[in-house]
Amino acid sequence: MFLIKPDPGIIIWSILTFLVLFFLLKKFAFGPIQNMIDARRDSILESIESAERTRKDAEKLLADYRESIANAKQEAEEIIERAHKVGENTKAEIVTDARQQAQKEIDDARDQIQRETRKAVQEIKDQVADLAILAAGKVTAKSITGEDHLRLVDEALSEVDLNELGAGGS
């Protein structure tokens, strides 16, 4: 029966047609599609690698920045600390200087006062002596010699506490 009797011509035609179709598809369809898929895979891989590289660079950069910031902070703290110390020292120096200066001025003033006091006492002494001599001369009118004058003055002066006068003036 012809239905189940294969025709050699048709067998050859079907193989030929199929093979031609297969090679055409390989060249014009499967090939380009596969190339496109490969190109996409390469491009994705490349993108991933590049992203990874960028991420690593960014991380390194960030670490560098962090380190720089940490260093700067530390430096700033040191500078502030140093400045503090310098300030403290300066302050102490200034205070000490000021105290010394003040003390010196006080001492100078005290010396001056003592000097002035002594000078004043001496002047008072001299004037009192002159006045006493003058008064005594008028009272005694030549009854007393020069030596008597001096003796009387000394006696009078011993009774007057000049030290108290000096202390009161200081």
Partner 1 sequence: MSEAAHNGEAATFSPTDEFEHAIEPIKVGGHELSIDLGIFHLNISRVVVYLWISAIIVFLICWGIARIVKILPSRKQVAFEGLYEYIRDNLVAAVMPREAVKAWFPYLLTLFLFILVNNLLGLVPLPFKMSHEYGFLPEFTAYAATSNIGVTLGLAILTFLLTHFMGMKHNGALGYFKNWTPGTAPGVLKPVLFLIHAVSEVFRLLSLSVRLFANLLAGHIMILVFYSLIFMLSTATLFLAALIEGGVLAISAFEIFVALIQAYIFAILSGVYIGGAIHQEH
Specify the residue, 30 or 65, whose C-beta has the smaller distance to partner 1: 30
Specify the residue, 42 or 57, whose C-beta has the smaller distance to partner 1: 42
Say whether residue 160 binds partner 1 (CB under 8 A).
no
Say whether residue 86 binds partner 1 (CB under 8 A).
no
Residue with tokens 């200034």: 94
Specify the residue, 20 or 98, whose C-beta has the smaller distance to partner 1: 20
3-class SS letters over the chain: CHHHCCCHHHHHHHHHHHHHHHHHHHHHHHHHHHHHHHHHHHHHHHHHHHHHHHHHHHHHHHHHHHHHHHHHHHHHHHHHHHHHHHHHHHHHHHHHHHHHHHHHHHHHHHHHHHHHHHHHHHHHHHHHHHHHHHHHHHHHCCCCCHHHHHHHHHHHHHHCCHHHHHHHHC
Say whether residue 28 binds partner 1 (CB under 8 A).
yes
Specify the residue, 21 or 95, whose C-beta has the smaller distance to partner 1: 21
Residues 36-75 touching partner 1, rule: CB under 8 A, are: 36-37, 39-40, 43
Choose the stretch contacting partner 1; rule: CB under 8 A; options: 8-16, 53-61, 117-125, 136-144: 8-16
Compute how many residues bind partner 1; rule: CB under 8 A: 33
Site residues, partner 1 (CB under 8 A): 2-15, 17-22, 24-26, 28-30, 32-33, 36-37, 39-40, 43
